[in-house]
Amino acid sequence: MHATNTLAEADRLMTLCNSCRYCEGLCAVFPAMEMRREFLDGDLNYLANLCHSCGACYHDCQFSPPHEFNMNVPKVMAQVRAESYAAYAWPSAFAPMFEKNGLKISLIAALSVAVFIAGFVAWHDPAALFGQHAGNFYRLMPHNTMVVIFGAAFLYAIIAMIMGIRNFWKNIGEPASTLTQGGSLWQAMKDASTLRYLDGGGVGCMNDSERPTDNRRRYHHFTFYGFMLCFASTSIATLYHYVLGKQAPYAWYDLPVLLGTIGGIGLIIGPIGLLMAKRERDPMLVDESRKGMDVAFLVMLLATSATGLALLVLRDTSAMGLLLSAHLGVVFALFVSMPYGKFVHGIYRFLALVRYAKEKRMIESGEAGTA
Amino acid sequence: MVDFSKRYDVLVIGGGNAALCAAISAAREGASVLVLEAAPKFYRGGNTRHTRNMRCAHDAATDTLSGPYSEEEFFDDLLRVTGGNTNEDLARMMIHESKDMLDWIVQQGVRFQPSLGGTLSLGRTNSFFLGGGRAMLNALYLTAEDLGVAIAYEAEVIGLDVENGMFLGAKVKRPEGETYVRAGALVTASGGFEANKEWLEESWGPAAKNFLIRGTRFNRGTVLKMLGAAGVDQIGDPTQCHAVAIDARAPEYDGGIITRLDCVVFGVVVNKHCERFYDEGEDVWPKRYAIWGRLVAGQPDQIAYIIFDASSLELFMPSCFPPIKADSIRELAGKLELDADALEKTLGEFNAAVKPGTFDHTQLDDCRTQGLAIEKTHWARKIEKAPFYAYPVRPGITFTYLGVRVNHQSRMMMADGKPSANMFAAGEIMAGNVLGKGYAAGIGMTIGSVFGRIAGREAATNARN
Ligand SMILES: Cc1cc2nc3c(=O)[nH]c(=O)nc-3n(C[C@H](O)[C@H](O)[C@H](O)COP(=O)(O)OP(=O)(O)OC[C@H]3O[C@@H](n4cnc5c(N)ncnc54)[C@H](O)[C@@H]3O)c2cc1C
Ligand code: HEM
Ligand code: SF4
Ligand code: SF4
């Protein structure tokens, strides 16, 4: 029996799909499903996190609603996925964070921006907040303080996410040794970085109708690589500071600023594109109860890049103080909420792809026990 | 919105593979085309929605086909399954054209993949649609739309205006009311009459009431009837249909592929009186599945039960409903509402008659019974290992054979032997020309695509002149 009704419904769908298999060539979910004849909760959570929500199997299925078999794999997989995030959350007391996630993330963000403003005002005389500092952030917040606060937030997020990874891996019932298979890891990196399975089996994803487009993948690339560049920018800046002893602010042509600018622009285009795609998405495919979580994450990313870029452009003006508080507040909120929001999708999807890389080799070599 | 007041070059009736291939090919010839589909958008495409592959000749292996399949071999297969009941000229032409179909259909946006898990035996001869028949249709519809083809859903043709073999116009029933539409040429691709139970009853008697329709409810054969009335020559046996035994719990229409059961050879099949009625192990399943629809149709109340035990459970592809399960034969009989004594007796006699042998489900093995009125000649093993399982089955109709006669141009032939001035047919509605009886997997789509493409092209040329 299954832990939730959603999992029971996913079991029903996978059992029907296993007797049909028409969608076998569309993505990784169906070949992985065919290796099984029974679907335990862990199997379903694994399959749900393999699903990229491209929508193709919904439009290609002869049994999707209004047919009485009511096959809606993308939607049910999205529901299972969202439930699985909560189930893996660490500490488990924080699992309810995934309920009304959008609201909670906005509250955390607003709160942390307010705390940064209040902090600056309390530490300095209020006028400093609106003063001109020629781009020198450390006048408002010493570098070491910044490192301690953000290092702690980041470390916490990493620990919580590692615990989530453990929970996921145990739940799907995969031996730990798979995570040390270089081949599987490398394959998963390639599949994740190209979003190989967000293409409806080759033509593009079917977001608003059966007419495929590659928009979501394109905008996700902007988002993903934008985020990675911003992350790289911050990491390099830290190295500059401690290894080279080079202090911010850096000139526009310096690596941290260049990477941050390009990444920031990607992190503006990407989330806006994804928000637009979300608005156009066929409502039949949408897990309404988790829309808030998706939107909150998109808005947080957008707020991170928007405040960051604004800070860069206006760092020599009197708006710097407020912008710095806003940017630091948003980034802080992004970090601490990471383990409890949509960000974890990347982690669990990547892990599911690692396992699938291994299973795919088994299928290809004929070792897999297909029914 | 579709303009019904306009006079189109080509009117296509139907919305499946044959119809769309015709519409696309006519539009590529420069014709203005209107497609009338009786079903709403979701159910568009009739039985094509449920398909998974097509059979085309090819000279060499490809990315998706594991080896060559020559025209000659295809023709031999066709002769074998039809017992020679085919128009040899048309069949050879179709098989020749099928070669080019593999490319043409891909150019229309359809994608292929290697054979699906569990269907390896078709990997050399049949091309499988990536995403199945509905994906295939979606691609054809997008291409047709891009070519400017007008498509009306919920537009059922309820009357044809034909004068001396010349099509003038059609009466169409739509949610908004009835309309009349005129066109220069007609392509009918409206399938068979498998969903018309009253018509099926004419040949099958009241038994037809208990038949399940594997595909669409919209293939009622009304256009076929109208064409007959308009003097078009008919072909194919009106009393025949392709029927298989499917799960009795399937919905009345559109249960599709997932209600099929591939486990007859592993157990015994009894009717509602718990009697066996046919050799379950006569031959390998791909060669026998198509007789079981008819066999079950001949049983009281058109119901039968496949019964097997734990040792066979994982030997066949799963189907959509779980088998009914019990720890004893008596309990199983109770769940099936059968006479427990009778079922125990039948299975007891069966088990006693099973001779020792080496079981091998991949070939005709030597496991058989001896001494029964109806022997099981292969794969006979004692049914004794609990839990015991059963699937209730009913006849499920795939398609009918009656159709209209056509020539090499896919042009309809009138009963007086003359070709029609401007009427063409493609797909199941003319399948009887090449497939007089029997079936070979994937040939329905070949017939639709090849003759659809020809019909569209010829209709466009016809309308222009
Ligand atoms: C479960 C199942 C699986 C199958 N699998 C395969 C397979 O893998 N390969 C294969 O080759 N064949 C398969 N077949 C057979 C195949 O479906 C048919 O041979 C094929 O679909 C026939 O195509 P068609 O275009 O002629 O008819 P259809 O696809 O049935 O289309 C007929 C169309 O006509 C419309 N129509 C009917 N009457 C009217 C009217 N009065 N006015 C307007 N429109 C009307 C219907 O709505 C429908 O859209 C399968 C059949 C079934 C049931
Ligand atoms: C590890 C690799 C990753 C994979 C395989 C991956 C995959 C996906 C997929 C398939 C979707 C679409 C389905 C869904 O909404 O759940 C998605 C959505 C999204 N991803 Fe990723 N992702 C990864 C990492 C990231 C990262 C690092 C970011 C940015 C920080 C990111 C940002 C987003 C956003 C904003 C969405 C939401 C789109 C929406 O809600 O419409 N992803 N991701
Ligand atoms: S989604 Fe539909 S068409 Fe695809 S495998 Fe499942 S049942 Fe078959
Ligand atoms: S939505 Fe796309 S990725 Fe998910 S199961 Fe369906 S085809 Fe696969």
Which is nearest to B269 in space by CA: B412, B380, B414? B380
Q: DSSP per residue over B105-125, as a string? A: HHHTT--EESPPTT-GGGTTT
For chain A, the domains span 5-364
B372 lies in some domain: yes
Q: Specify the range with the lowest mean pLDDT, choosing from A311-315, B115-119, B416-420.
A: B115-119
A133: CB partners within 8 A, 6+ apart: A139, A140, A320, A321
Which is nearest to B423 in space by CA: B190, B112, B130? B190
Distance CA B36, CA B22 (A): 12
Query: B219 CA distance to ligand 1 centroid (A)?
Result: 8
Give the model's pLDDT for residue A124: 83
B363 lies in some domain: yes
CATH code, domain with B99: 3.50.50.60
The 3-state secondary structure of B339-359 reads CHHHHHHHHHHHHHHECCCCC
Give the model's pLDDT for residue A129: 83
Interface contact flag, A67 B254, Cβ < 8 Å:
yes
Distance CA B241, CA B200 (A): 9
B373 lies in some domain: yes
Give the model's pLDDT for residue A366: 77
Distance (Å) from the C-alpha of residue A360 to the closest C-alpha of chain B? 14
Pull the structure tokens for residue A240. Answer: 């500059």
Question: Which residue in the set A23, A202, A210 is minimally distant from B111, CB to CB?
Answer: A202
Nearest atom within ligand 4 for CA of residue A58? 6
Backbone angles phi, psi at B298, to 5 degrees: -85, -5
B110 lies in some domain: yes
pLDDT band at B286 (very low <50, low <70, confident <90, very high): confident
Claim to verify: residue B268 and residue B158 sit in the same structural domain: no
Q: Are A307 and A332 in contact (CB under 8 A)?
A: no
Q: DSSP per residue over B163-211, as a string? A: ETTEEEEEEEEETTEEEEEEEEEEEE----STT-HHHHHHHHGGGGGGP
Nearest atom within ligand 2 for CA of residue A191? 5
The finding on whether A188 has its CB within 6 A of some atom of ligand 4 is no
Which residues in chain B have their CB less than 8 angstroms from residue A34's CB? 117
Distance CA B88, CA B303 (A): 38
pLDDT band at A369 (very low <50, low <70, confident <90, very high): low
* CB contact residues (below 8 A), chain B span 309-348, against chain A: 314, 317-320, 322
Claim to verify: residue B450 and residue B367 sit in the same structural domain: no
For ligand 4, pick from A197, A287, A345 the residue to mutate: most ligand atoms within 8 Å of CB: A197
Interface contact flag, B130 A201, Cβ < 8 Å:
yes
Interface contact flag, A370 B49, Cβ < 8 Å:
no
Question: Which residue in the set A20, A31, A57 is minimally distant from B257, CB to CB?
Answer: A20
> Considering B368, B396, B424, which residue would you say is the last residue of a domain?
B396
A59: CB partners within 8 A, 6+ apart: A206, A209, A210, B134, B135, B138
Interface contact flag, A59 B52, Cβ < 8 Å:
no
Phi-psi region of B329 (alpha: psi -120 to 50; beta: other; left: phi over 0): alpha
Claim to verify: residue B129 and residue B213 sit in the same structural domain: yes
Q: Are A10 and A48 in contact (CB under 8 A)?
A: yes
Please, what is the Cα angle at B72 between B71 and B77, to 5 degrees? Answer: 100
Domain count, chain B: 2
Q: Are B47 and B58 in contact (CB under 8 A)?
A: no
Claim to verify: residue B28 and residue B93 sit in the same structural domain: yes
Distance (Å) from the C-alpha of residue B166 to the closest C-alpha of chain A? 37
Nearest atom within ligand 2 for CA of residue A277? 41
CA dihedral B60, B62, B64, B70 (to 10 degrees): -20
Claim to verify: residue B199 and residue B304 sit in the same structural domain: no
Pull the structure tokens for residue A109. Answer: 């963000």
Give the model's pLDDT for residue A121: 82
Residue identifier of the C-alpha nearest atom 9 of ligand 2: A52
Backbone angles phi, psi at B229, to 5 degrees: -65, -30
Q: What is the pLDDT of residues A3-12, one digit of tens each?
A: 999 999 999 9
Q: What is the pLDDT of residues A17-47, one digit of tens each?
A: 999 999 999 999 999 999 998 999 999 999 9
> Considering B342, B369, B396, which residue would you say is the last residue of a domain?
B396
Q: What is the pLDDT of residues A128-187, one digit of tens each?
A: 888 888 888 888 888 888 889 999 999 999 999 999 999 999 999 999 999 999 999 999
Q: Are B383 and B349 in contact (CB under 8 A)?
A: no
> Which residues span the domain enclosing B339?
244-396
Handedness of CA A62, A67, A73, A75 (dihedral sign): positive
CATH code, domain with B270: 3.90.700.10
Q: Count H helices and E strands in chain B, helices first.
A: 11, 19
Distance (Å) from the C-alpha of residue B278 to the closest C-alpha of chain A? 26
> Using alpha carbons only, how large is chain A's radius of gyration in Å?
22
Claim to verify: residue B13 and residue B87 sit in the same structural domain: yes
The finding on whether A29 has its CB within 6 A of some atom of ligand 4 is yes
The 3-state secondary structure of A14-48 reads HHHHHCCCHHHHCCCHHHHHHCCCCCCHHHHHHHH
Q: What is the pLDDT of residues B22-45, one digit of tens each?
A: 999 999 999 999 999 999 999 999
Specify the pTM.
0.95
Which is nearest to B338 in space by CA: B307, B374, B308? B307
Q: What is the pLDDT of residues B303-351, one digit of tens each?
A: 999 999 999 998 998 889 999 999 999 999 999 999 999 999 999 999 9
Pull the structure tokens for residue B49. Answer: 């929605």
Q: Are A23 and A200 in contact (CB under 8 A)?
A: no
Classify the complex by whether its ipTM is higher than 0.90, answering yes or no. Answer: yes
Give the model's pLDDT for residue A370: 46
Q: Does A283 touch chain B (CB under 8 A)?
A: no
The finding on whether A52 has its CB within 6 A of some atom of ligand 4 is yes
Distance CA B452, CA B446 (A): 9
Pairing relation of β-strands B8-13 and B177-188? parallel
Which is nearest to B12 in space by CA: B453, B345, B465? B453
Note the residue count of chain B: 465
Interface contact flag, A19 B135, Cβ < 8 Å:
no
Claim to verify: residue B186 and residue B231 sit in the same structural domain: yes
Please report which ligand is nearest the Cα atom of A297.
2
> Considering B396, B419, B442, which residue would you say is the last residue of a domain?
B396
Claim to verify: residue B152 and residue B17 sit in the same structural domain: yes
A-B contacts at Cβ under 8 angstroms: 89
Residue identifier of the C-alpha nearest atom 50 of ligand 1: B51
Q: Average pLDDT over chain A, rounded to whole?
A: 94
The finding on whether A28 has its CB within 6 A of some atom of ligand 4 is no
Question: Which residue in the set B42, B254, B318 is minimally distant from A18, CB to CB?
Answer: B318
